[in-house]
Amino acid sequence: MTDRVALVTGATSGIGRAVAVRLSADGFHVVAAGRNAARGAVTVDLCRSAEFIPFDTTDEADWERVTTGIVTTHGRLDAVVNSAGAFFSKPLPDTSLAEFRALWEADVESVIMGTKWAMRAMRDTATAGSIVNISSLAGVIGLEDCAAYCAAKAAVTHFSRIAAVEAGDLTPPCRVNSLNPGVILTEMITNAYGDSPEVRDFVMDGNALQRVGLADDIASAASFLAGPRSRFVTGTAMIVDGGRGAD
């Protein structure tokens, strides 16, 4: 797959960085996108073949610039992993509309625009590509004090199903899936709750596999969905949670 090109947003840390590294190891040239150039350079250094592009995923002009630039430079765009997002935990009565809207913009609108511009690039280059939208187990089950986040990720999960139907109408058809991680130990968790034995116990609590979920676990699933091994998989929500949501 050395001639294939993948765009990974949110690639400066956490799941996004792990996905970028894994896709590069699997033979993609990776365009790692994010807001922090210094952290993006670290990601590029960890990859076999990659470049960094500064990117605000909430700005549609940036989506047009980046996807058009990739097609102009590389002639194709085979996979897009929409990993950029935000998180906060707060009781619903204390959540302001402004906070809800900011999270919606970061977690939902960015994915909608990313899917749209990925489909356009794949359509215009006649590429049978794959779009992977990082959602969450919270998009399938409820989590206390996370109403805004759960609503946003539920939107991403269902939007991906609808987008898969439309992507199937392209020539050749493209694939769209959501990837729904459970609680994974990344900066998103440690920034919100700290990194302590208690936090790690929380991350592991309820997992049937009885271990902490790591970004590499999600990267493996993202690589499967982005690549040809999942060529008959579209419109699905792949839950990767160690069994946390099974009960």
pLDDT tens sequence across 34-71: 999 999 999 999 999 999 999 999 999 999 999 999 99
* Closest listed residue to residue 204, CA positions, set 241, 238, 153, 150: 241
What gap in Å lies between CA 13 and CA 236, rounded to an integer? 25
**Rounded mean pLDDT, 195-218:** 88
Domains of the chain: 5-240 (3.40.50.720)
Helices (H) and strands (E) in the chain, counts: 9, 7
Considering only the C-alpha atoms of the chain, give the largest distance between any 2 of them, rounded to a whole number of Å: 51
* Catalytic residue from among 149, 154, 189, 213: 149
As given in the structure block, the two tokens for residue 10 are 């949110």
pTM for the model: 0.95
Chain segment 155-164, per-residue pLDDT in tens: 999 999 999 9
Which residue's structure tokens are 């922090």? 36
As given in the structure block, the two tokens for residue 72 are 């102009």
What pLDDT does residue 2 have?
A: 52
User: Concatenated DSSP letters for 154-178?
Assistant: HHHHHHHHHHHHHHTTSSS--EEEE
Residues 28 and 5 sit within 8 Å (Cβ to Cβ)? yes
pLDDT over 70 percentage in the chain: 99
**Rounded mean pLDDT, 143-158:** 96
What pLDDT does residue 170 have?
A: 98
Residue 1, pLDDT above cutoff 60: no
What gap in Å lies between CA 65 and CA 88, rounded to an integer? 29
Which residue's structure tokens are 């440690």? 190
**Rounded mean pLDDT, 62-83:** 97
Of 170 and 192, more confident: 170
**Rounded mean pLDDT, 76-104:** 96
Catalytic residue status for 149: yes
